[in-house]
Amino acid sequence: MNEVSVEVLPLRVDAAGTWRYRRLITPLGGESPDQAARRGAGVRAGDASTVVHSTSWRYRPQGQIVLTYAVCPDPDPHLPATELETIRLARGATPSSPTPDHVHLENVVAHALRHLAYLLDHDPVVGAALSGDIAVALESLSREPAEAFTH
């Protein structure tokens, strides 16, 4: 039997465009992954000012499935967070082998940001929730060609 956990990445950006993140892990038990992510981040259902969005999943050799949620803006911006130094996506070796050899947390955060940037452009509900420095930082990110990212 596989163990499922929910990874929550509260994301924030400062006026200079520097992204920071926290990582929270919560078990999945008796609730939906969305509910677990909201509980882990301390976000109420129906909160129109915070995006809670499933952004990826990955399988670990120990039999663990990790469901990742981006939470933006970070509901607790006063807590310590890690600076995202580069936006570097992890990629599989071939189209039929999508799982990269190594996935680091920074790669997962970068993927989450790219996902939010896409949603900012294509999902009016997300677009309405993300504003100010966050929207500016995501807009510049979403406009960069994929080739601009380090492989």
Task: Report the CATH number at residue 135.
Answer: 3.90.79
The model's pLDDT over 58-88, given as tens digits with 9 standing for 90+, comes to 888 788 899 999 999 999 999 999 999 888 7
Neighbours of 19 (CB within 10 A): 23
- Reduced to 3 states (helix: H, G, I; strand: E, B; else coil), residue 88 is strand
Give the DSSP H/E element, type plus range, for residue 66: strand 64-72
The model's pLDDT over 96-126, given as tens digits with 9 standing for 90+, comes to 877 777 788 999 999 999 999 999 989 999 9
Q: Which domain holds residue 88?
A: 3-148
Report whether 83 contacts 20 (CB < 8 A): yes
Q: Which of 118, 108, 128 is nearest to 51 (CA)?
A: 128
Query: CA–CA separation, 19 vs 113, rounded Å?
Result: 9
The model's pLDDT over 7-65, given as tens digits with 9 standing for 90+, comes to 999 999 998 999 999 999 998 878 999 999 999 999 999 999 999 999 999 888 788 89
- In the chain, the number of structural domains is 1
The pTM for the full model equals 0.88
